[in-house]
Amino acid sequence: MLADPGVVQALLAGVIVAALCGFVGVFVVMRRQSFAGHAITDVGFTGGAGAPLAGLDPLAGLLAFSVIGSIVMARLGDKIRERDVATGVVLTASLGLGALFLFIQTRYVSQPAALLFGSIFAIRSGVLLTTMVVGAACVIALAILYRPLIFSTVNPETAAARGVPVKFISTAFLLIMGVAVAEAAQLVGVLLTTALLIGPASAAITFSRRVPWAILFAVIFGAVQMTLSIFLAYASYTWPPGGKGWPVSFFLGVLALGTFVIARFFSAGDSRRSESNEA
């Protein structure tokens, strides 16, 4: 199967994107922005669905709307409660627009389907390189934001008192997240991007005591889940109903849930042990 250049490309791009989402996801989970993470992919879908109407590439529309959506969300709401409302408002407005775009351009229906479920085995030339460059840019940006980002996540008031530009950091982070999920969405589709963003990170966080360890585990989980999903999707060509492989997204979703449940189970056992030690 590795002789198939499509599979090799899928593996390379998939692992890069999964590792990036694991990295970003640790901060998303720590900042309780899972809802915003999912919403941004849906906003991106509207961009992807609308781009052909303007004669543009759906992927360009996806990226543009993800970025604009994340800035709008950051500007609208600050506190967690406001933030969820702001996210919900942007999300519904955008999905309504997406529905209209789909209604108008019935002749492009096949493209929105690819947007929803991804097309990892049919990566166009150039996408792999873009994924690498964009992924590296996101990692560098996160490395620069790293310490004040965690500080303002844990303790925003004290961070602000120490001169951390909390609002700027929050906007910059949503922007990085928007770019990362747009990268993921073009491979695995907008519906399952959240599985990559939240799944590995939340599993890693349940048993990590330090942020660097949580990031390392999230990156490993993401990469392993992606690799397994691609192998399983490839193998599934011979499974019923036959003649057609099962979607990679399906395996990603199931593996994300599985990893999370196993991590929970282990961390629950761990905390019971430490409690009985204290007693």
Footprint of other proteins on this chain (CB under 8 A)?
26, 30, 32, 143-148, 150-151, 154-155, 157-164, 205-206, 208-211, 213-214, 271
Find tokens 């590792």 and name the residue. Answer: 19
Q: Tokens for 134, please give them.
A: 């964009």
Is 221 within 8 Å of 29 (Cβ atoms)? no
Q: Which residues contact 162 (CB under 8 A, 6 or more apart)?
A: 151
Tell me how far, at minimum, the Cβ of 149 lies from other proteins, in Å.
10
Nearer to other proteins by C-beta: 75 or 162? 162
Nearer to other proteins by C-beta: 111 or 153? 153
Tell me how far, at minimum, the Cβ of 159 lies from other proteins, in Å.
6
Alpha carbon distance, N-terminus to C-terminus of the chain:
55
Is 190 within 8 Å of 42 (Cβ atoms)? yes
Nearer to other proteins by C-beta: 27 or 65? 27
Tell me how far, at minimum, the Cβ of 166 lies from other proteins, in Å.
10
Tell me how far, at minimum, the Cβ of 160 lies from other proteins, in Å.
8
Nearer to other proteins by C-beta: 117 or 146? 146
Tell me how far, at minimum, the Cβ of 162 lies from other proteins, in Å.
5
Q: Which helix (H) or strand (E) holds 234?
A: helix 211-235
The number of C-alpha atoms within 13 Å of 22 and in the hemisphere containing its C-beta is 27
Nearer to other proteins by C-beta: 119 or 208? 208
Tell me how far, at minimum, the Cβ of 110 lies from other proteins, in Å.
42
CA–CA separation, 220 and 23 (whole Å): 10
Tell me how far, at minimum, the Cβ of 260 lies from other proteins, in Å.
12
Q: Which residues contact 86 (CB under 8 A, 6 or more apart)?
A: 73, 76, 77
Is 151 within 8 Å of 186 (Cβ atoms)? no
CA angle 139, 142, 145 (to 5 degrees): 155
Nearer to other proteins by C-beta: 201 or 230? 201
Query: Among candidates 159, 120, 118, 168, which has minimal Cα distance to 141?
Result: 168
Nearer to other proteins by C-beta: 168 or 237? 168
